[in-house]
């Protein structure tokens, strides 16, 4: 008998077809995303579960006595309560690598948009307020030749660093918990303390996972260490930044501008002061969202799910849960 899995998120028809060849399944068919209550009601028989970011914790696992594996269509897995999964031997998988280049493109787009004030200028032109005065009220700042500091030089950080180095001739600084000698060599990048990175960078880009250690990694003290002319980019997770401190820093010209794909609360509240600031470029957490890459992510997530519920080793088990396979 085929194992039974529940698909809480839609996947492309080809991917669904692949799942159907290896598993029996049901899928969420509502027009709106599945609610927590509806999800809990679906889990009684499920041996596998396909999600994007839904919280996997004790309460959910108590509703899923037959569950063996959860496949996240996302590389970040801060939605996994790793302890709860470990104690029940639940395999957790994610979708690394297939999205690196797409997210890196978006990181660079945010850097350029904030530096050259693209959304602000786009709005002016569309409102019929074309201006191109010589005294520079609409001028931006250069990206080429400047210093980029990457906090979280991992798979995506490195792809952004490559674009910055070879596309924009930028000087690359980075900070991780561990040095990466290969990356240093490939990008001529310099490993520095977080404080040095903040003090010396013209662009500071956050690309860390959200963990207990990275919660509010950027706060008032960190923003005050940045250059007044610096641009802050967050393409990681909103919770890595103390948003009140960021708002304060942007309102008081402690830093020049920000580009944000992620927020502490998502969807961001319409009355969040960040949305009122002309020196902030905002996006709706869309880093990996191209048709091609989302297809690759869904495909990898389906392969992970099928392997796990059939007793095979999935290619992308999250590191903290690899021990469950032994
Ligand atoms: N906006 C979007 O749409 C997207 C957001 N993301 C986010 O980006 C994150 C990174 O993805 P990816 O590059 O694949 O992950 P990686 O694991 O490859 O890279 C993360 C890097 O962060 C470093 N890091 C971890 N903890 C710390 C810390 N406490 N201080 C400093 N550095 C740290 C790690 O190095 P070391 O272990 O040496 O510290 C590692 O190099 C994801 O977890 C996800 O949250 C990903 C895709 C799309
Ligand atoms: O935020 C997206 C991810 O894949 O992580």
CA distance 127 to 124: 5
> Which of 28-42, 130-144, 197-211 comes out lowest in average pLDDT?
130-144
Confidence class for position 326, pLDDT limits 50, 70, 90: confident
Confidence of residue 252 (pLDDT cuts 50, 70, 90): very high
Report, as an integer, the average pLDDT of 107-115: 98
User: Which stretch of DSSP H or E encloses residue 200?
Assistant: helix 194-200
What pLDDT, on a 0 to 100 scale, did the predictor assign at position 259? 98
CA–CA separation, 16 and 12 (whole Å) = 6
Determine if ligand 2 sits within 6 Å of the CB of residue 75.
yes
Q: Is the CB of 52 under 6 A from ligand 2?
A: no
The residue-averaged pLDDT of 90-113 equals 98
278 alpha carbon – ligand 1 mean position (Å): 28
Residue 157 near ligand 1, beta carbon < 6 Å: yes
pLDDT tens digits, 35-83: 999 999 999 999 999 999 999 999 999 999 999 999 999 999 999 999 9
Distance (angstroms) between ligand 2 centre and the Cα of 194 equals 24
Residue 272: pLDDT band (50, 70, 90) is: very high
- Predicted confidence (pLDDT) at residue 138 exceeds the cutoff of 90: no
How far apart are the CA of 312 and the centre of ligand 2, in A?
25
Tell me, yes or no, if 237 is annotated catalytic. yes
Tell me the average pLDDT across 107-132: 94
Atom of ligand 2 at shortest distance to CA of 76?
5
Mean per-residue pLDDT over the chain, rounded = 97
288 lines ligand 2 (CB under 6 A): yes
Residue 266 known to be catalytic: yes
For residue 194, the ligand 1 atom closest to its alpha carbon is 31
Q: Reply yes or no on domain 4-97+291-325 having CATH 3.40.50.300.
A: no
What's the 72 CA to ligand 2 centre distance in angstroms? 9
pTM: 0.98
pLDDT at 135 over 80: no
Is 110's pLDDT higher than 80? yes
Domain boundaries, the chain: 4-97+291-325, 100-282
Pairwise CA distance, residues 211 & 287, whole Å: 19
Q: Which residues in 1-23 are b (16+ Cβ under 10 Å) and which e?
A: eebebbbbbbbeeebeebbeebb
- In this predicted structure, what is the pLDDT of residue 133? 73
178: phi then psi, degrees, rounded to nearest 5:
-125, 145
Q: Is 216 among the residues known to form the active site? A: no
- pLDDT score, position 39: 98
Residue 99 Cα: closest atom of ligand 2: 4
Answer yes or no: is pLDDT of 131 > 80. Answer: no
The pLDDT score that the predictor gives to residue 75 is 98
11-41: pLDDT as tens digits: 999 999 999 999 999 999 999 999 999 999 9
- The residue from 237, 294, 296, 303 that is catalytic is 237
**What's the pLDDT band for 132 if we cut at 50, 70, 90?**
confident
Nearest ligand to residue 284 Cα: 1
- Name the residue among 276, 279, 220 with its Cα closest to residue 246: 220
Phi, psi of 249 (to 5 degrees): -65, -40
The reply to whether 100-282 shares the fold of 4-97+291-325 is yes
Percent of the chain with pLDDT over 70: 100
Looking at the CA of residue 261, tell me the nearest atom of ligand 1. Answer: 1
| Ligand 1 within 6 A of CB of 95 | no
| 100-282 has CATH 1.20.200.10 classification | no
Ligand nearest to the CA of 75: 2
Q: pLDDT per residue over 157-166, tens digit each?
A: 999 999 999 9
**Does position 93 have pLDDT exceeding 80, yes or no?**
yes
Q: How far is the CA of 283 from the centre of ligand 2 (A)?
A: 14
- For residues 117-128, average pLDDT: 94
């Amino acid at each position: 008998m085929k194992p039974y899995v529940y698909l809480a998120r839609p996947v492309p028809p080809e991917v669904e077809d692949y799942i159907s060849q290896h598993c029996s399944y049901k899928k969420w068919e509502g027009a709106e995303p599945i609610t927590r209550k509806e999800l809990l009601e679906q889990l009684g028989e499920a041996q596998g579960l396909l999600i994007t970011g839904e919280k996997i914790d004790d309460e959910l696992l108590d509703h899923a006595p037959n569950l063996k594996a959860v496949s996240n269509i996302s590389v970040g897995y801060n939605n996994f309560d790793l302890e709860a999964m470990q104690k029940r031997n639940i395999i957790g998988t994610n979708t690394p690598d297939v999205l690196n280049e797409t997210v890196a493109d978006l990181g660079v787009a945010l850097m350029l948009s904030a530096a050259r004030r693209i959304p602000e200028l786009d709005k002016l032109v569309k409102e019929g307020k074309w201006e191109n005065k010589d005294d520079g009220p609409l001028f931006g700042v250069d990206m080429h030749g400047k210093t980029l500091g990457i906090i979280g030089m991992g798979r995506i950080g490195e792809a952004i660093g490559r674009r910055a180095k070879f596309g924009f001739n930028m000087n690359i600084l980075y900070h991780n918990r561990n040095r990466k000698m290969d990356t240093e060599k490939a990008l001529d990048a310099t490993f520095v303390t977080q404080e040095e990175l903040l003090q010396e960078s013209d662009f500071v880009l956050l690309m860390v996972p959200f963990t207990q250690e990275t919660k509010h990694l950027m706060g008032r003290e960190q923003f005050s260490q940045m250059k007044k002319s610096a641009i802050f980019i967050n393409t990681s997770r909103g919770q890595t930044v103390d948003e009140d401190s960021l708002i304060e820093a942007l309102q008081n010209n402690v830093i020049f501008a920000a580009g944000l794909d992620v927020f502490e609360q998502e969807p961001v509240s319409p009355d969040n002061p960040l949305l009122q600031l002309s020196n902030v470029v905002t996006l709706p957490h869309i880093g990996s969202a191209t048709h091609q890459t989302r297809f690759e992510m869904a495909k990898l997530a389906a392969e992970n799910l099928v392997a796990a519920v059939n007793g095979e080793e999935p290619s992308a088990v999250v590191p903290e849960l690899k021990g469950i396979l032994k």
